[in-house]
Every structure is written in structure tokens, then in C-alpha cells.
Structure 1
Amino acid sequence: MDIFQRDLAGLGVDAREEEFATEMLPRIKEAQKILAKLNNGYHDEKQTREILEELMHKKLDSSLWVLPPFYTDYGRNITLGKNVFINQGCTFMDRGGIFIGNDVYIAPKVNIITINHDLNPYKRTITYCKPVYIEDRVWIGIGAIILAGVRVGENSIVGAGAVVTKDVPKNCIVGGNPARVLKTLTDIAK
């Protein structure tokens, strides 16, 4: 199992190991170069999408709309559905995988983080990843933080500034630190 497979499997990856320096770090640096191109200067929607395709190494739907600046540590482990809007200043730490469904709206300065460090202070160079899933028709409010291993259920709303540490049920509004259910959305018209 190579370092990328271990990362996606949630197994520990140590920044001091040789494979990190020879395999992972070059890909992280490549992402930083592409992000520098994206985040400096003006690009129309098509140009922005083309730069993101270069970053993510995949074709993206023409309905995607991202307003730079946009930040990520890796880029290749982001999957985006149709009609996704990502506002300015968002950070996606995607080494564990970020999966975003259709019709998702992400406000400015949202952080989606799939990585965490070992709790032992003598092993903090070791990181562990868990994927984040954002299901269809989710709205994530300004400055929200979604942490590793979380699934946000369909139709839900994550309030501004919320810190989401656990799964969010479908059809609800969550807010606070840590986020908790504030309201259930019962009258959802299709």
C-alpha cells in the first residue's frame, strides 16, 4: 500500500518518512503552484474551472462556480457534483477525500478539513485522514468548519461559524461550537 492509499484509508502518515518527502510533498507543491495561478489575477468561470480541473486531475461539470481565492492542500481528492457554488476564501484540506453532492452552496471562508494529527505530542508529525461527505442540497454558512469524518445529510443547513464535529442528520439546521441540531426542516417543498 503506497502513501496515498494509506492516507485515504485513514492509516497514519508520518511527515518524516521518506515516501512523504519523495511522493506526497511534490504533489502538495504542485497543488500550491496551480493555486497560485488560480488565486492571482482575474479568471472568468470557464478559466477558473479549467484551472481547477488541472488541480483536481478530473473533468468538472460546467455548472460548477467557484469564486477565488480557493485553498487546498492537495486537490486530487475533491469530488464535486452538479450546481455546486463555492464562495471566496474557502479551504478544503482534502487528503482524506471530500465528496460534495449536487446543488450545494458553500459560503465564504468555509473550512472542510479531512486530516488530524496524532494526539501524542511526541508523534504529532503523524497525520490521520477521514473523508467528509456533503450530501445534495446542503447550504454551509459563512465561516463554518467541517471536521474529518463528518457527513452532512441532504437538505441540511450548517449555520455561520458552526464547528461540525459529528454527522449532521438530513433535513435540519445545525449551529454552534460544537454544532448541534437547532431545528428540523419539516416543510420541504420539491
Structure 2
Amino acid sequence: MTLKEFLDYVPTRGPLNTEGMHRLMNEMSEEARRVTFRLNSAWHSQEEIRSLLGELFGRPVPDTLRVFPPFYSDFGKNIHVGENVFINACCHFQDHGGVTLGDGCQIGHNVVFATLNHGLEPADRGTTYPAPIVLGRNVWVGSNATILQGVTIGDNAVVAAGAVVSRDVPANTIVGGVPARIIKRIDNPEK
């Protein structure tokens, strides 16, 4: 299986259970670890960080992206970031299913993006299923939050520190808790 075939397949949310898929996932994991080990093993300027992330993502990243390493990914080729995105230290991107961060997103320390889940039935536990995570514009995710597979977070939303987000989050809301629930609405999100 090629990377393009894999990336074309994952939006179907079908099982990742063929030998070809597993071989590609292992190859991509090895490549992602090689790049992230280089990224995380020494001090780098933001320009150097963006260059390494471009290598990891397989495409150039915006000049306005700012990342404070360490940065972790176990796939790397299915992360998409908009303009003026900030990612703080120790974030984990399990991006097989796709992670999209819209313009102006701010990601706190130690946030986890988990786009894979295992089958629930014991006989299906070894099979993983992908689903994308999509953050709209100006989303703020607090430290130690976990965003689970298939979640879309609307524009201007805030995810409280430590939240576990397992359902879509409407625009202009603040969510928190385990599992995350709406705490309040943001009345004037453009101010």
C-alpha cells in the first residue's frame, strides 16, 4: 500500500487490518520517530523547527507556525496546520486518521490527539479504526487535554485543561471535564 492509498482510505473510517496497511504504518512510524528524535534532541530555531516539521508532515508548514518541542507523532503525514498556530511542549499527535488545526489555534502543554481506536469486541481488539480530529479557527486547548478520534471542535471554542473530549464541541463554547461537557457559551467570540 502506498501513502496516498492509505491517506485516501482513512476517511472511510474502515478497519486498518491488512498486511499492507500495517507495513506502511510501521514504515511511517519509523520515519516519524527519526524526524522527531532529531527535532527533540537539541535546541532549534523556529525556522529549523518548521523545516523539520515540514519533513515530518511531508509538505511545507506555514511560516507563522510556532512549536515548542518536544513534539511527538507516530505517523506524521496526516497533520495539517493553518496560519498562526501555536503548539506548546510535549504534545502527542496520533495522526493516522488525520489532525487538522485551523488558523489561530493554541494548543497547551501535553495535549494528546488520538485518531485511532480499537475494536470494542474482544475478537476485534487488535484492529484499529481511524477517524479525523478537526479544530476550527481560534480554538484554545488547555494543558493535558485529550481529544479523541472523530471529534470536531468549532471555531472559537475552548477546551479546559485536563478535559477528555469524546464528542463534537460547538463553536463559541467552553468545555471541560471527563468526559468533556459544555460549561458555558462565549457571548462575544470576536472581541
Q: TM-score range by the shorter chain?
A: over 0.9
Which residue of the other structure, out of 8, 12, 33, is the alignment partner of 1:9?
Answer: 12
Quickly say closer, same or farther: Cα 1:123–1:184, change in 2 above 3 A.
Answer: same
Equivalent-residue separation in structure 2 for 1:137 and 1:4 (angstroms): 26
| CA drift at 1:174 | 0.4
Question: How many correspondences in the alignment?
Answer: 188
Question: 1:18-29 residue pairs with structure 2 within 5 A?
Answer: 18-29=19-30
**Structure 2 gaps, min length 5:** none
| CA drift at 1:3 | 4.3
| CA drift at 1:8 | 3.5
| CA drift at 1:13 | 1.0
Say which SS state the counterpart of residue 13 (structure 1) adopts. coil
TM-score, scaled to structure 2: 0.94
Question: 1:134-173 residue pairs with structure 2 within 5 A?
Answer: 134-173=135-174
CA deviation map 1:34-89 (0-9, x unaligned): 11111111111000000000000011110000111111111110000000000000
TM-score, scaled to structure 1: 0.94
In the alignment, which residue of structure 2 is the partner of 1:181? 182
> Which stretch has the larger CA shift, 3-12 or 88-97?
3-12
The RMSD of aligned alpha carbons is 1.4
| CA drift at 1:188 | 2.9
> Which stretch has the larger CA shift, 22-31 or 169-178?
22-31
8 Å contact from structure 2 (residues 139, 157) kept in 1: yes
In the alignment, which residue of structure 1 is the partner of 2:121? 120
Equivalent-residue separation in structure 2 for 1:96 and 1:3 (angstroms): 10
In the alignment, which residue of structure 2 is the partner of 1:36? 37
| CA drift at 1:18 | 2.3
> Which stretch has the larger CA shift, 22-31 or 138-147?
22-31
8 Å contact from structure 2 (residues 108, 142) kept in 1: yes
**Structure 1 gaps, min length 5:** none
| CA drift at 1:131 | 0.5
Equivalent-residue separation in structure 2 for 1:12 and 1:186 (angstroms): 41
8 Å contact from structure 2 (residues 68, 87) kept in 1: yes
8 Å contact from structure 2 (residues 58, 77) kept in 1: yes
Q: Percent identity?
A: 39
